[in-house]
A and B are shown apart, each in its own frame.
Chain A
Amino acid sequence: MKLTVQDLNSHYGPAHILFDIGFEVGEGEVVALLGRNGAGKSTTFRSIVGLVAQRSGRIMFEGKDVSAKPTHEIVREGLGYVPEERRIFTDLTVEENLEVGRQPKRPNAPHWTREKLFSLFPNLGEMKNRPGGRMSGGEQQMLTIARTLMGNPSLVLLDEPSEGLSPKIVEQMVDAILTMKKEGVSIVVSEQNLHFARLISDRAYIIERGRICFGGTMAELDARPDIRDAHLSL
């Protein structure tokens, strides 16, 4: 397994957010983490990369337990994270944003260069020197993915990449994610949009109130409309 999460529990102060979360991602797989607003998708991702201080559980990445490591070391193992809020450095240009994400080549992961990323996201190539603060939401979403890819990750946690984007940009996003998959990057993508998830994912988990309540292939999910209707708002 590429990534195995076991018994993940997280707290914000006195509030218990995640309860015994567990899921797996295979080599080269795209797995969707589905759930409503506030179900715990973002907290799950933030906990995996160590941005939530109070958490317990086991996070095995490429056979190594990374749960005790600080954020930057987890990321340097090749586990990339794309936050939901995008968190572009608004004062930095597109090229400088990419520079912050740059990490050395990794033997077991595809190597991304600026040029390769600019061909994946042609819009970015046309605005290399534009400050991040003066980009549209869609452009920022592309930049935040490209920035994480500059770290040559073997697995990427993609938090709601389709949120707030126009249908045309969403199509580009689907293409980009499929290209990443073809290059050999494993992906966990959190989504509220089942339609979008179906276009890219091999398997799906459903999270509700901080607990995983379903796991299976997309076909298995489609065979259970009751689960879909109970836990996902369409």
Chain B
Amino acid sequence: MAFYVVQFLTGLASAASLFLVASGLSIIFGVTRIVNFAHGAFYMIGAYIAFTLTERLSGAFGFWGSIVLAALAVALIGVIVEMVLLRRIYHAPELFQLLATFGLTLMVEDLVVLIWGPDDLVGRRAPGFKGAIDFFGQNIPSYDLFLIVLGPVVLGILWLLFQRTRWGVLVRAATQDRDMVAALGVNQKWLFTSVFAVGVFLAALGGALQIPRDAVHHAMDLRIIVEVFVVVVIGGLGSIVGAFVAAVLVSELNAFGILIFPKISIILVFLVMAVVLIVRPWGLFGKPEAAARKTPGLTVNPWRPLTSNERLASLAALVIAAMLPLFAGNYALTVGSEIAIFVIFAVSLHFLMSVGGLASFGHAAYFGLGAYGIAFLAKMAGLPMIVCLLLGPLLGCLGAAVFGFFAVQLSGVYFAMLTLAFAQIVWSIAFQWVSVTGGDNGILGLWPSSWAASPSHFYWLALGVAALVMIALRAMVFSPFGYALRATRDSLLRSEAIGIDAKRIQWTAFVIAGTTAGIGGALFAYLKGSVFPDNLGISLSVDALVMVLLGGVETVSGAVIGAIVYKALNIWLVSQTDLSKLVLGGFIMLIVVVFPKGIVGMLEMLAQRRRKSSPPGSPLLAKPIESAE
């Protein structure tokens, strides 16, 4: 019995940090409508700076002074980030904000390794809380008790701050109607900055307070951000009380999950989240609300099928691409195959994201499932390659059918977070279920049959499949199904009012996109000869998002160009520098801020401007359709 009580208390202690970080995220989202992916990075920097201050300068400020100082320093960094980066993108679609803050996260991951090195750092214990308290023969660290008390105290302080101060009243008002607050003479800019500073302070404090409990390392950001997403989704974005309750719930699930279901402990939390989202899509303490801003799609130029000249040009490009083996060496062909595979992957996400308006942050799950499908069929069932290629992607299809059913019940940021969480579930299974998936060691020795073994043959295979996928998806965009899907994207209510079963259409699109990604994953498994959990990891999901954005999210075929440019750049970059994440993160932020329409979108805009300036034509048709927001 005592053991369970102690386990319960440990869970409560873990909840404290989680609550701090989650409440910060929630507060920032409430006012700015930005889901701050970099919140985990701020948490991590908080821990690193606190480590340095307590180790090196503890004489000057003392332990507790160092902790608070670290959090303040990170809050200052947050203010700079808000003023330099976020202020430029408040009016962009929410997807761009998630991506920009993700780019920031990537940069921070490389930067902390540069500054503090790759090794785990073990911080010192908190003075006054070094010992443990005996509880019927079980030890409870006294620092845990301190954290257990701290959680409700912070909750109380936040409550007072929001209910009893003018700042709190303004923040709550802005959460509901930002423009009206400005129309009453309040400077939104500084309100946003201060809110962001408070949110980041809480995240950094959460990180700093972890150093007596856990080692500081450079991957703690992703671990916490996924948990925090789960917490705010369960508790309800924007609700501080919800963040507290959900943090306790998630921490206790973790604490007892390990005891009761050690094999599926990671999944347990996500299962609870899925259940909550289905019953109350806006979370336990959240409020249902209309989407603040539309995902990409509202500002698109009207799409049209290719003209016959453009078809010929595309065919010519394909023929030229097919001639690559005549003059390129094996390495170039392998790179070419990889690019073709990523074109398939990017095009599949584009279909979901641009055509369907559903921005998935976990699309790699279906890519990886396709790859694992191959691994199971080829290694365990021993089936020949052609059969594997036909059946393997079905695992991606199956995963997309199951997860997609739940995901399409939501939209906007909730959709993004749920797909991310689902991808993490799949990743955890691949990582934890060692007996079947080989865990971190993956599954090795998947080689193509002899007919596709040579680099040039494999290249032709990949290129051919990519071409077929592109043609099929493009045809679908201009089919009645595509029209219906675009209708659900542009206005869910209106499409339902004319008799479209929106959820079913979106679900179908999700399954199509997942299956297509699975085809890419299947080819990828054969290209690499192996499958690893990373094939369904977050960074791969984000790669796909960047490819689509880089090409131009509002175009029909930007994803193809985006995939080619990004993948080529990526392969080149990794061969040139150790700091690829730093460069890549900066690159992502640059796209979002400077080229929000992507490469193809830019070209289209330029072409249109030229067209508009020469013949008078019909001005109404030439103008982009914009929303009167």
* A residues apposed to B, CB below 8 Å: 12-15, 49, 51, 70-73, 75-76, 81, 83, 87, 89-92, 96-97, 99-103, 147-148, 151
> Please, which residues of chain B bring their CB within 8 A of the CB of A13?
625-628
* Contact indicator B185/A14 (Cβ below 8 Å): no
> Is B623 among interface residues, defined by CB-CB distance under 8 A?
yes
* Contact indicator B172/A91 (Cβ below 8 Å): yes
Given contacts A12-B628, A89-B172, A90-B176, contact A99 B166 (CB under 8 A): yes
> Please, which residues of chain A bring their CB within 8 A of the CB of B180?
83, 87, 89
Partner of B185, one of A12, A75, A83, A92: A75
* Contact indicator A92/B177 (Cβ below 8 Å): no
30 A-B residue contacts at CB 8 Å? A13-B626, A13-B628, A14-B620, A14-B626, A49-B183, A71-B182, A71-B183, A72-B182, A72-B185, A72-B186, A72-B187, A75-B182, A75-B183, A75-B185, A87-B177, A87-B180, A91-B172, A91-B175, A91-B176, A92-B176, A96-B169, A96-B172, A100-B169, A100-B173, A100-B184, A101-B184, A102-B166, A103-B185, A147-B184, A151-B185
* Contact indicator B183/A99 (Cβ below 8 Å): no
| Least CB separation from B185: chain A residue | A75
> Please, which residues of chain A bring their CB within 8 A of the CB of B628?
12-13, 15
How many Å lie between the Cα of A97 and that of B185 in the bound state?
Answer: 13
> Is B429 among interface residues, defined by CB-CB distance under 8 A?
no
> Please, which residues of chain B bring their CB within 8 A of the CB of A91?
172, 175-176
> Is B411 among interface residues, defined by CB-CB distance under 8 A?
no
* Contact indicator B184/A151 (Cβ below 8 Å): yes
Given contacts A13-B626, A13-B628, A14-B620, contact A81 B183 (CB under 8 A): yes
* Contact indicator B183/A83 (Cβ below 8 Å): yes
Given contacts A13-B628, A89-B172, A89-B177, contact A148 B184 (CB under 8 A): yes
> Please, which residues of chain B bring their CB within 8 A of the CB of A49?
183
| Least CB separation from B191: chain A residue | A72
How many Å lie between the Cα of A70 and that of B87 in the bound state?
Answer: 15
How many Å lie between the Cα of A102 and that of B184 in the bound state?
Answer: 8
* Chain B 590-629 per-residue mask, 1 if CB under 8 angstroms from chain A, else 0: 0000000000000000000000000000001001111110
Query: Which residue, of A90, A100, A103, has the highest number of chain B Cβ atoms within 10 A?
Result: A100
* Chain B proximity of A150: nearest CB distance (Å): 8
How many Å lie between the Cα of A215 and that of B172 in the bound state?
Answer: 42
Partner of B186, one of A12, A15, A87, A100: A100
* Chain B proximity of A203: nearest CB distance (Å): 25
| Least CB separation from B627: chain A residue | A13
- Across the A-B interface, the 3 shortest Cβ-Cβ residue pairs: A13-B626, A75-B185, A12-B628
> Is B181 among interface residues, defined by CB-CB distance under 8 A?
yes
* Chain B proximity of A18: nearest CB distance (Å): 14
Query: Which residue, of A70, A75, A89, has the highest number of chain B Cβ atoms within 10 A?
Result: A89
* Contact indicator A76/B177 (Cβ below 8 Å): no
* Chain A proximity of B298: nearest CB distance (Å): 10
How many Å lie between the Cα of A75 and that of B184 in the bound state?
Answer: 6
Q: Give the contacts of B154-175 with A (CB-CB under 8 A).
A: 166, 169-170, 172-173, 175
Interface of B is mostly: helix
> Please, which residues of chain B bring their CB within 8 A of the CB of A75?
182-185
* Chain A proximity of B37: nearest CB distance (Å): 27
How many Å lie between the Cα of A100 and that of B173 in the bound state?
Answer: 7
> Is B119 among interface residues, defined by CB-CB distance under 8 A?
no
| Least CB separation from A132: chain B residue | B176
| Least CB separation from B626: chain A residue | A13
> Please, which residues of chain B bring their CB within 8 A of the CB of A151?
184-185
Given contacts A12-B628, A13-B627, A14-B620, contact A89 B173 (CB under 8 A): yes
* Chain A proximity of B466: nearest CB distance (Å): 37
How many Å lie between the Cα of A192 and that of B173 in the bound state?
Answer: 30
> Is B188 among interface residues, defined by CB-CB distance under 8 A?
yes
How many Å lie between the Cα of A87 and that of B182 in the bound state?
Answer: 12
* Chain A proximity of B551: nearest CB distance (Å): 25
* Contact indicator B182/A70 (Cβ below 8 Å): yes
> Please, which residues of chain B bring their CB within 8 A of the CB of A103?
184-185
* Chain B proximity of A89: nearest CB distance (Å): 5
How many Å lie between the Cα of A14 and that of B620 in the bound state?
Answer: 8
> Is B134 among interface residues, defined by CB-CB distance under 8 A?
no
Query: Which residue, of A13, A70, A73, A147, has the highest number of chain B Cβ atoms within 10 A?
Result: A13
How many Å lie between the Cα of A119 and that of B489 in the bound state?
Answer: 50
Query: Which residue, of A12, A72, A97, A151, has the highest number of chain B Cβ atoms within 10 A?
Result: A72
> Please, which residues of chain A bring their CB within 8 A of the CB of B627?
13
| Least CB separation from A78: chain B residue | B185
How many Å lie between the Cα of A91 and that of B30 in the bound state?
Answer: 13
* Chain B proximity of A13: nearest CB distance (Å): 3
How many Å lie between the Cα of A76 and that of B181 in the bound state?
Answer: 12
* Contact indicator A100/B170 (Cβ below 8 Å): yes
> Please, which residues of chain B bring their CB within 8 A of the CB of A70?
182
How many Å lie between the Cα of A185 and that of B150 in the bound state?
Answer: 51
> Is B310 among interface residues, defined by CB-CB distance under 8 A?
no
How many Å lie between the Cα of A76 and that of B187 in the bound state?
Answer: 10
> Please, which residues of chain B bring their CB within 8 A of the CB of A71?
179, 182-183
* Chain A proximity of B13: nearest CB distance (Å): 32
* Chain A proximity of B357: nearest CB distance (Å): 19
> Please, which residues of chain A bring their CB within 8 A of the CB of B175?
91
| Least CB separation from A85: chain B residue | B180
How many Å lie between the Cα of A223 and that of B623 in the bound state?
Answer: 45
> Please, which residues of chain A bring their CB within 8 A of the CB of B166?
99, 102
